[in-house]
Amino acid sequence: MDKLGLWYVRWDKSSNAYYSRLKTLNKSPATVEDFKSRFDIAIVTTLEGFDAKYTHNGYADGRDLAIFVKSELGTKIEYYISLPYYPYDPTHEDKNGRGNINTGDYWFDWIDGVLSVDSNSLIGFYWDLEYAWMFKDYQKGKKESTIKPEVLSKIAAYIHEKGLKFIWIPSAHTYALQNTDIPSPTAMRSFDYIFVQSNYYMNSAERYPVTFSQFCDWLSALKRIGSGKTHIVLEADECVLGGHGNCRCCGNQKCCLTLASDYYFVQQKVLGRLDNPVVYYFGATLDVVDKVFDYYLTRMGVV
């Protein structure tokens, strides 16, 4: 079972440098060894681009991130690297693409910049935009969080020509997965894997899925899409450790642990096994992964 974890990095303008946001309860920042004891592959994310350096020079910006990632991860673990969508913005308000959504300019240069840094551990790029309606909204004439489908296809082809993979991790808290871009011909052709967030852990009564039964229906629908390309994202955060986060019942640790461990149970219920490969979203604290898995084993009666 290939376990992929998100490695959060952030550009700090004051120091003109990147830094890792990963930590454990006893250590900050966490080490590659800490990460590797839990995951097989790292997905370097810049929080959709909001945390990535942006100078309008895609080559230089991509190279800067690649240099930092190589210095952090070296040859110790394989990784996907962010292809960021949004411009650097700590407020997260600017939803326009940092590249040209009609031509792909900037993003092609970013790829070249990353590839200018030799790394045998780089296995591909992560389309760092979680919005699941980026093509549909483009076709409606919207400018924010969108891209022309043909451009995304060209970006994917460019990456694949280099012998690398291209993945996407959209958020799709909807009963109508067929109405997202996930099953679109462009997405199916472009991405090697699509790991989908249900947001079950976060969802309130107004959002779907919210019950375990709905979660089962959601995963069944997801698995009917994509001929093996679509996989689940396991979601949890520091609420399971008694801290703060985005759990719908944060402050009630047992409730959050139950919701987070439901991601294991829904796979067993629908698939009869754990999904493979699978992505873990765990906030920025690696201990979240351990806590949830231990609670799952407790619920299973194993420990």
Give ∠ CA 6-9-14 in degrees, rounded to 5: 165
pLDDT at 303: 63
pLDDT at 205: 79
Structure tokens at 45: 């994310």
* Cis, peptide link before residue 277, omega less than 30° from 0: yes
The low-confidence residues of the chain, meaning pLDDT below 70, are: 1, 303
pLDDT at 292: 98
Structure tokens at 160: 């694949």
Tokens 């350096």 — which residue? Answer: 53
Closest alpha carbon to 169 in 90, 87, 82: 82
Structure tokens at 15: 């120091």
Residue 27 CA, distance from chain mean position: 23
Q: How far apart are CA 139 and CA 30, in angstroms?
A: 42
Domains and CATH numbers, the chain: 3-300 (3.20.20.70)
Structure tokens at 150: 């043909």
Q: How far apart are CA 116 and CA 62, in angstroms?
A: 9
